[in-house]
Structure 1
């Protein structure tokens, strides 16, 4: 994430576009950290491209304790199943080529 600080009192309840401190439209991004998995936030428009201005504002309220505990496990399981599915598809393709020569 671009920053490790946030202000809960500055949470957005409207759909009005947010501008970072550079005056550019702030994109909505999704946190992938274990403590805020899936929580959306506004960040600096230049994050990852240029020097960031440090703008940061949460879109979503904090997740409940149970959600913080369960969601990372669910994401890990989903990732594991997606990898397993990709492996199965590759094996199926290989078997089809062996059987049918296509």
Structure 2
């Protein structure tokens, strides 16, 4: 952050502000550079950003700060940069943690879906076994009933005896 304006504060235009080369009232901005931190200046009313400075009208309002002030500002800038870097690292760490959590949730979801499908498959297999046994038991019961009916109503080969004798 040498001479570039990292940020400017616009105090607007006033009727007492000088006229720029464009014939408009100059705006008051505040510099936030290491060398001129906090100093106010007049600039063209058409000033948009560092690359588009209107008619290039420029005049300092405030005087230079002392050497001690420059050292303090320099340390404050360093602290600010360190905090910005730390904040960026923390933000990256948080984003990574969020992505890891999302990945873990997605993996857990897939595992639960697999477990659910396995459970449904085992349940279906048990239903099939039950239905198969039920069909066998019904068939056996039907055969037993037919055999019972045959035994009850079919005469025995002995001529003298019959199960359905009426005497």
Structure 1 residues 22-101: aligned runs within 5 Å: 22-46=22-46, 48-49=51-52, 52=55, 54-101=56-103
> Aligned partners of 2:42 and 2:53: how far apart in 1?
16
Report the counterpart of residue 11 of structure 1 in structure 2.
none
Tell me the alpha carbon deviations over residues 23-81 of structure 1, each in whole angstroms, 9 at most, x when there is no partner: 123222333444322312112234532663x5322233332321112102211220221
Q: CA RMSD in A?
A: 2.9
Taking the aligned partners of 1:43 and 1:50, their CA distance within structure 2 comes to 8
Name the count of aligned residue pairs: 89
Distance 1:93 1:33, change over 3 A: closer
- Distance between the aligned counterparts of 2:89 and 2:33, measured in 1? 27
Tell me: higher relative CO, structure 1 or 2? Use CA pairs within 8 A at least 6 residues apart: 1
Distance 1:45 1:15 in 2: 13
Structure having the higher Rg: 2
More helix by share: 2
Q: CA offset at residue 85 of structure 1?
A: 0.5
